Structure 1
Amino acid sequence: MDPVRVEVDGLTKTFGKVRAVDDLSFTVEPGQVTGFLGPNGAGKTTTLRMALGLITPDTGTTTFNGVRYAGLPEPMRQVGAVLETAFHPARSGRDHLRVYCRATGLPVGRADEVLEQVGLGTAGRRRAGGYSLGMRQRLGLATALLGDPAVLVLDEPANGLDPEGIQWLRGFLRHLAHDQGRTVLVSSHLLAEVEQTADRVVIVGAGKLVRQGTLAELRSGSSGSVLVRSPQSTALADLLRTSGTTIVRTDGAPDGLTVTGLSTDEIGRRAFAGGIELHELRPRTSGLEEVYFRLTAGQEQYAAASEQGAV
C-alpha cells in the first residue's frame, strides 16, 4: 500500500453571511492518526465534506498525493469515509455492505471480511434497524474499509461506543496507521480519547486554523510553568518573586507553587542559595484538554450564561 499524504490548501466556504471555513490549510501525514478538533460550528464537518467533494469550496483544494477526490480513479479503494451512517433498516448489515460492493465493483466476499474486522461477524446477518448506535458506528467503519483504502476520514467514530468499544477503536485506528501505514483523520469531541489515540492534532476555530502539530509540540508551547513544593513555600515565593515572574498557589497542595517566568534550573539555584528545602520541582505539562480550551477560548458557538457574565 503506497502512503498517501492529504493536503488541505486554502479552503474557504461561505453560506450566506456565514463564513464556515476561512482560508484553512493543514496536512495529514501517512502512518499517523491525526485528530481534527474544534468547537461546534468551527467548520470541521464542512471541511471534511469539501475534502470528499460533497461540497464545492469557494476557494482552495484538498488533494490526496496531489490529486483531488473527484480525480481519483477508484475513490472507494483509495479513500474510505464515515461522515454519516445511512442504511436501510430492514436490510442486514451484511447485505448493506454487499450492496456497496456490487455498486463499486468490489468482490462481495469483502463484506464478511470487514464485518469480522470491526467485530460484527456474528451480528452481520441481523437487520441493521435493530443495531445499537455503537453497532451502527461499527457498520459505518466497515463500509469505509470495504475498498481497503490508504486513507480513512472519520467524523465522530466513537459516538455511541461503550468503554470497551472505545478502547477497541483506539487500538484499531492506531494499528491501521502505525502498522499498516494508512493515513487516518478523525474528527472528535472526546479530547481524552484523542489524546490517547492521535499522533498529531489539527485544531480549528471559527473556520480558521488555530494550531496543528504533534501532541508534544502543542504541550511544549502551552505552558512555561514550573511546579514547586516546599515546606517553606511562603519564603520561597518571596525569594522567587521578580519582575516578569508569576507565582500562584497550586490547587490541592498547600505547600505547592506554580511559577511562570523562571526555569527549573533557576528556581533550584535560588532555593539552594537561600537555604530553602524543596520536595518537588518539575516543569508543568498541559494535557490536551487544557491546551484545547486555551487555544479555542471565545470561539464556542454556544456558551453558558455564567461564562458570559450573566446570572
Structure 2
Amino acid sequence: MGTSPGRREESAIHPGSSRHRDPVRVEVRSLSKSFGAVRAVSDLSFTVEPGAVTGFLGPNGAGKTTTLRMVLGLERPDTGTATFDGVAYPDLPSPVRRVGAVLETAFHPARSGRNHLRVYCRAAGLPVTRADEVLAQVGLADAGRRRAGGYSLGMRQRLALATALLGDPAVLVLDEPANGLDPEGIHWLRGFLRHLAHDEGRTVLVSSHLLAEMEQTADRVVIVGAGRLVREGSLAELRSGAQGSGAVLVRSPEAGRLAEVLGAAGFAVAPSEDGRVTVTGTTPDAVGAQAFRAGVELHELRAETSGLEELYFRLTAGQEQYAAPQGATR
C-alpha cells in the first residue's frame, strides 16, 4: 500500500530531527534600497552564520526592517542580493520548510491559537499535528484552544514564533521577538533561541532594541546605522576593535608617582583621589611594563570591559533618527 501525501508530509517534519541541521548560511551582499529621495539601505553586506544567534542592531530608521523585508523577498532591492546558501528566498523550493520568519504579529481575534496555526499548516501543506507540537515548544499548550484575541502581547509573540516554527525551518528571522514578554518570558526566549542555534544547528537572526538581553543571547552582532554597515562580529571582536578608545584601570599606593611615570612615557592618564589611575589608548601589558621598570607597586591592573550597550552607542553615535538634546532629562 502506498503512503498518502499527508503521511509523507508528517514524516518529513519531526522536531529534533537532523533534517534541517545541514548548515544554512545567509549572505547579504551590497543591498541598496531607496524610497523616493530617502535612501533606506545603502550597499549593505553581512553574513549570518549557522549554529549561532546573530543580533541585528541599529537606531530607529537605520534600515533594519527594510533589510529584513528584502532578505525575505517582501521588498525588491534596487541593487544587491540576499541568499540562503546561494538561493534567494523567492526561489526556494519550499520556503516554509527552509525559513521561518516573524516581522509582525497578526491574528484573527476570534480564532484560537491552535486553529490559527492549523490554517497555516493547511496553506503550507504541512500536517495539522504540527500546530500542537509548536504550541508545546513555545509554552502555549494550555492556551492553544483560547481565542487569540484574548492573548496578552507576550502570548501573541509566542504564537508568532510558533507560526515561524511550523515548517521546522533551518533559518529563523525574527524582528523584535521579545516585545511584550515579561522577565520570565525573556529568560525563556534567550534559552530557547540559543538551544535552536547551538543544539540544533539552526541559523538565527534576531532584530532587537534590548541591548542588555542581546549581550546575553547573541553570539555575533551586526550593527547598522543610516542604512550602512557599522560593524559585525562577535562581542570579543567588537571590543578588540574598540580597544584604541578603551581604558586600563590601575590602582597603586603610589598613584601620584605612577601617573608621572605613565605620563612621561606618553600615556594619557587621569588619576583619582582613591588611588586609581585611568590610562586610555593602551593595554594592561604596556601599563604593567612601565610600572615594573619604574619599581612602582601595583594592587590592581585590568582593562575596562565595554558592554554591548556602551559599544553600540559609541559605534552609532550621531546616526539616530530621533535624538534628544544633550542634557535632556525627559
TM-score of the superposition, structure 2-length normalised? 0.90
Correspondence 1:101 to 2:129 = no
Deviations 1:90-144 (A, max 9, x none): 1100000000001110000100000000000000100001111100000000000
Q: Which moved more, 1:98-107 or 1:230-239?
A: 230-239
Correspondence 1:296 to 2:328 = no
- How many Å separate the matches in 1 of 2:118 and 2:24? 27
Pick the aligned partner of 1:230 from 252, 256, 268.
Answer: 252
SS of the aligned residue for 2:142 comes to: coil
Deviation of 1:32 after TM superposition, in Å, equals 0.5
Show the counterpart of 1:34: 54
Deviations 1:67-110 (A, max 9, x none): 00000011011000000010001110000000000111000010
Pick the aligned partner of 2:112 from 82, 92, 103.
Answer: 92
Q: Is the 8 A contact 2:243 2:281 kept in 1?
A: no
Deviation of 1:258 after TM superposition, in Å, equals 1.8
Show the counterpart of 1:201: 221
Pick the aligned partner of 1:191 from 196, 211, 214.
Answer: 211
Pick the aligned partner of 1:259 from 264, 267, 279.
Answer: 279
- How many Å separate the matches in 2 of 1:258 and 1:21? 39
Please, which runs of 5 or more residues in structure 2 have no aligned partner? Answer: 1-19
- How many Å separate the matches in 2 of 1:266 and 1:25? 36
Deviation of 1:244 after TM superposition, in Å, equals 4.6
SS of the aligned residue for 1:226 comes to: strand
Pick the aligned partner of 2:177 from 157, 168, 172.
Answer: 157
Deviation of 1:275 after TM superposition, in Å, equals 3.5
Question: Which one-letter code corresponds to 2:239 in the other structure?
Answer: R
Deviation of 1:191 after TM superposition, in Å, equals 0.7
- How many Å separate the matches in 1 of 2:128 and 2:152? 25
Q: Report matched runs for 1:4-83 at 5 Å.
A: 4-83=24-103
Show the counterpart of 2:262: 240
SS of the aligned residue for 1:258 comes to: strand
- How many Å separate the matches in 1 of 2:264 and 2:175? 48
Question: Which one-letter code corresponds to 1:230 in the other structure?
Answer: S
Q: Is the 8 A contact 1:244 1:261 kept in 2?
A: no
Paired positions, count: 308
Correspondence 1:282 to 2:302 = yes
The 3 A distance-change label for structure 1 pair 96 and 228 is same
- How many Å separate the matches in 2 of 1:179 and 1:269? 43
Identical counterparts, % of pairs: 76
Q: Is the 8 A contact 1:223 1:285 kept in 2?
A: no
Cα RMSD of the aligned pairs, angstroms, is: 1.7
Correspondence 1:148 to 2:200 = no
Correspondence 1:216 to 2:236 = yes
Deviation of 1:279 after TM superposition, in Å, equals 1.3
Q: Is the 8 A contact 2:256 2:271 kept in 1?
A: no
- How many Å separate the matches in 1 of 2:316 and 2:266? 25
Please, which runs of 5 or more residues in structure 1 have no aligned partner? Answer: none
Q: Is the 8 A contact 1:220 1:285 kept in 2?
A: no
Deviations 1:30-81 (A, max 9, x none): 0010000000000000000011111111111100000000000110110000
Deviations 1:231-290 (A, max 9, x none): 32222111100465212247xx82222212443233223323433221100122211111
Q: Is the 8 A contact 2:259 2:271 kept in 1?
A: no
Q: Is the 8 A contact 1:223 1:286 kept in 2?
A: no
Show the counterpart of 2:196: 176
SS of the aligned residue for 1:228 comes to: strand
